[in-house]
Amino acid sequence: MRPGTKRRQVMCYNREVNLSLFHDNPSSLHFAARFAEDRLLSKVQAIDAKARRKGLDSLDASKSSLIRLGMEHTPEGKVTKNSYGLFHLAWLAEQHPEWPAQIAAELDEIRAAILAAHKKKLKFLIWAGMGGSAEDKSMYQAAGLLAKGPRCYVLDSTDPGKLKAILADIASRSNGSLKAGLAATLVVGQALGMTSYEPVVNLEKLSRLYENLGIDSRANFIYMTLPGSLLDQFAGPRGYRKVEMQLDNGNSTSGRHSGPLTRGSLYPLGLAGVDLGAWIRGTFLGEQDIHTAWTLSSFLQAEGLAGRDKVTLLASKSLAGVALWTKQNFEESLGKSEDLGIKIVIGEPFKMTGYRAAKAPRQDRVFLLIERKGEPALDRVQLNILKRAGYPIAVLSLEAAAPLSRYMQIMHYAVFGLGWLREMNFVTQPGVELYKAITNPLHQNGLFQGGIENTPEWRQLLNSPRQLKWRGGVTLHYDRLPCGFEMKDRSAASAYAALLEQLSDARTIEYGELTAFADTRFDKRGQKLRKVLDQAAAAIFRDRLKIPVDVYEGPAMNHSYHEMVIGHGRCLSTVILPLKAETIPEADHTADYHRAQFLATQMALEQRARLVVSITIKDTSEASLRALAEFFQAAAASLRRG
């Protein structure tokens, strides 16, 4: 370490986690000291214990900042949900060593029911959920934790194309027989919101498909949700087994907090043979562990106040899958503030030329390295380059044998700690609720009009004069932008480039978003679409504009990091839709709800005065994707000339 480099190191009591800070300037020590001075941990434990012991009626949000921080309540102060379950489930687990065996017995019962009903061993798992109800499963897959269990498909979209690709893969792995494959499939619906409708859409279509194939689906479907939710109203009358989300039978976790300790997180791990005892013990954090998490919170708070709120996350290979889960946890929890945001930047290759100089006025990055001991997130030469350049850096290092659950629990405390420092409720997500509130009536109107294409909102998309056509069926739509933005007399690509350049130069935007409303995970054409977007992200946003960009799939992003886009803003959202939609006739599954979500996403952004444009393409054929790639290449070239 060269002279002048400031470093602080914090060690956990069990030596499984090590946190090192570099260039902690201005110092975050005074923030870290506040946690101990305020005896925060004991106060959280006390208010949570009161909620569980005496009930929610004993609480008054107007009299406690911790209630306002971690519980849902009415404007009058009446508490409607205690959301500190992400902490107390670990505290309770220490008192219940029987929980791992209980989960194992429940999973044996589910397997036995499928075997008895269909003479089939469990071979496939379809997990229908959105955002936090899905991202932990995707993380476990990426980490290789589900490799030994039934093949897991995360169904986090209402796009018929995604389900169609999943069904095709199941059939191909079942000697071409979808019926045989579905008989050996467990379908799980998870929704921790009363109004979450996406899992209902998918369970309804799958249920109809089972019925049309002559399969009694009652042994194959289970669901986890709140009493009286839309999912409960759908699944209960059909005789599907309801499984309590929490082992304490409470309802004190949101979707993004359901991992690592609810059944929604433990079931897929248990089916894959993961040692649940060790997994659960990994969440038993001592005070020094929690202090480490809050030290990270303090560091991120100090950097955010200094204008460095783009947390560039770099992870070692075995931990690469934590990126998206971490991003959602922070942004959906803490993205509400207009004044102070926190953008977790993921999916970027390390590239010094893509960053502004450490002392530059517009330098807004801080680096967070997540690694295992002996497996660095960055080559030490590269890390030393960052240090010498003067960038603020936090390195969180786990012991090689530390379970992923320990990382997850530490990050929960880090998010909570940052929320406490910002006096911000970290469990609500009003931006997500806004998008859902727009989607459902829009979809209902589409049903009344005979299809989403007959609604005024869809006609506005296609017929508004505020659009520019590009060759090959690519069209840039800017009808949701404020009227002050006029882009006529330009090509579509140069207009897009000029818009980005103008907004970035004025610091109206500090990052971008490229979201495809299509399956980019299972469908091979969708995978190619994702590649086009990744290339555009690098060429336009990172290389030319020197700003981060989110590349993801809609509407999953609405439940992942949309809270930051809507709440904090400072982003230009670009949403992409293939006009040719997939259908599954045998399940009566059309793209109407998915397209309603596409429109509602833009309408929610427009309603909150956020900037959004859309790009439609004919389909995901080679010709259409080539035309889209040429559009982005021309935009990048225009930026280079500019």
In a domain, 302, yes or no: yes
Contact of 100 with 267, CB cutoff 8 Å: no
In a domain, 27, yes or no: yes
Mean pLDDT for 480-494 is 88
CA-CA-CA-CA torsion sign (291, 296, 300, 306): positive
Contact of 188 with 125, CB cutoff 8 Å: yes
pLDDT tens-digit series, residues 32-41:
999 999 999 9
How far from chain centre, in Å, is Cα 559? Answer: 6
* Residue indicated by tokens 């979500």: 597
pLDDT greater than 80 at residue 6: no
State whether 630 and 544 are in the same domain.
Answer: yes
Question: pTM score, two decimals?
Answer: 0.95
Q: For residue 72, what are its two tokens?
A: 């849902």
In a domain, 247, yes or no: yes
- Return the axis-axis angle of helices 430-449 and 592-607, rounded to nearest 10°: 130
State whether 169 and 120 are in the same domain.
Answer: yes
In a domain, 184, yes or no: yes
In 3D, which of 95, 91, 125 has the Cα closest to residue 107?
Answer: 125
Among 399, 421, 443, which residue terminates a domain? 421
State whether 444 and 593 are in the same domain.
Answer: yes
In 10 A of CB 588, how many CB atoms?
12
Give the model's pLDDT for residue 640. Answer: 81
Query: At a CB cut-off of 8 Å and minimum separation 6, what does 441 contact?
Result: none
State how many domains the chain has: 3
State whether 306 and 256 are in the same domain.
Answer: no
Full domain range(s) for residue 576 = 430-641
State whether 300 and 363 are in the same domain.
Answer: yes
Confidence of residue 192 (pLDDT cuts 50, 70, 90): confident
Stated as kind and residue range, the H or E segment containing 406 is helix 404-421
Name the residue type at position 137.
K
Among 248, 281, 314, which residue terminates a domain? 281
CA distance 639 to 498: 7
State whether 434 and 412 are in the same domain.
Answer: no
CA distance to 16, 190, 278, 283, per residue, from 404 (Å)? 11, 22, 10, 9
In a domain, 77, yes or no: no
In 10 A of CB 496, how many CB atoms?
27
Strand-strand pairing, 241-242 and 310-315: unpaired
Q: For residue 543, what are its two tokens?
A: 């290389």
State whether 318 and 272 are in the same domain.
Answer: no
* Stated length of the chain: 642
State whether 413 and 536 are in the same domain.
Answer: no
Q: Which residues pair with 223 in a beta bridge?
A: 189, 242
Assign residue 137 the CATH number of its domain.
3.40.50.10490
Q: HEC states along 219-251?
A: CCEEEEECCCCHHHHHHHHHCCEECCCCCCCCC
pLDDT greater than 70 at residue 418: yes
pLDDT greater than 80 at residue 434: yes
Give the model's pLDDT for residue 271. Answer: 98
State whether 254 and 354 are in the same domain.
Answer: no
Name the residue type at position 490.
R
Contact of 307 with 106, CB cutoff 8 Å: no
Q: HEC states along 153-221?
A: EEECCCCHHHHHHHHHHHHHCCCCCHHHHHHCEEEEEEECCCCCCHHHHHHHHHHHHHHHCCCCCCCCE
State whether 488 and 617 are in the same domain.
Answer: yes
Q: Which letter does DSSP use for residue 60 in this model?
A: B
Confidence of residue 199 (pLDDT cuts 50, 70, 90): very high
In a domain, 94, yes or no: no
State whether 402 and 484 are in the same domain.
Answer: no
In 10 A of CB 489, how many CB atoms?
8
In a domain, 105, yes or no: yes
In a domain, 64, yes or no: no
Confidence of residue 181 (pLDDT cuts 50, 70, 90): very high
State whether 276 and 290 are in the same domain.
Answer: no
Mean pLDDT for 177-183 is 98
The three-class DSSP label of residue 467 is strand
Among 246, 262, 281, which residue terminates a domain? 281
pLDDT tens-digit series, residues 69-100:
999 999 999 999 999 999 999 999 999 999 99
Strand-strand pairing, 393-398 and 17-22: antiparallel
